[in-house]
Amino acid sequence: ETGVTQSPTHLIKTRGQQVTLRCSSQSGHNTVSWYQQALGQGPQFIFQYYREEENGRGNFPPRFSGLQFPNYSSELNVNALELDDSALYLCASSLPGVRGATNYGYTFGSGTRLTVV
């Protein structure tokens, strides 16, 4: 059983540029969520994809966008990068929640550390 793989592990971008981060979900998981974790803080929910559609979004502007592919892998795109976008970006895959289900496991990747200069 493979885990969640994120690429790249580290990235440095210039303010105003665009960036794409990638995530391969765990085998059998069809839901992918993205989180932003600023230094010294807890992760903040960006959005979630289920069956290639966005089905939940946190308090992030539209310049944060995403995609999910038929194999359930996902991309996070950030346009017009700002200095405050510097953070660790975590991807988590899971099965969709079902009341009474025993599996509420979320498998997290090791993240992409994005630095905007």
Partner 1 sequence: AQTVTQSQPEMSVQEAETVTLSCTYDTSESDYYLFWYKQPPSRQMILVIRQEAYKQQNATENRFSVNFQKAAKSFSLKISDSQLGDAAMYFCAYRSNNAGNMLTFGGGTRLMVKP
Contacts to partner 1 by CB under 8 A = 31, 33, 35, 40-45, 48, 50, 55-56, 58, 88, 90, 92, 94, 96-97, 99, 104-106, 108-111, 113
* Alpha-carbon distances of 57 from 34, 50, 88, 91, 107, rounded to whole Å: 10, 12, 18, 14, 19
Contact (Cβ atoms closer than 8 angstroms) between residue 4 and residue 90: no
C-alpha R_g of the chain: 14
* Closer CB to partner 1, 17 or 55, in the complex: 55
* Closer CB to partner 1, 16 or 61, in the complex: 61
* Closer CB to partner 1, 9 or 77, in the complex: 9
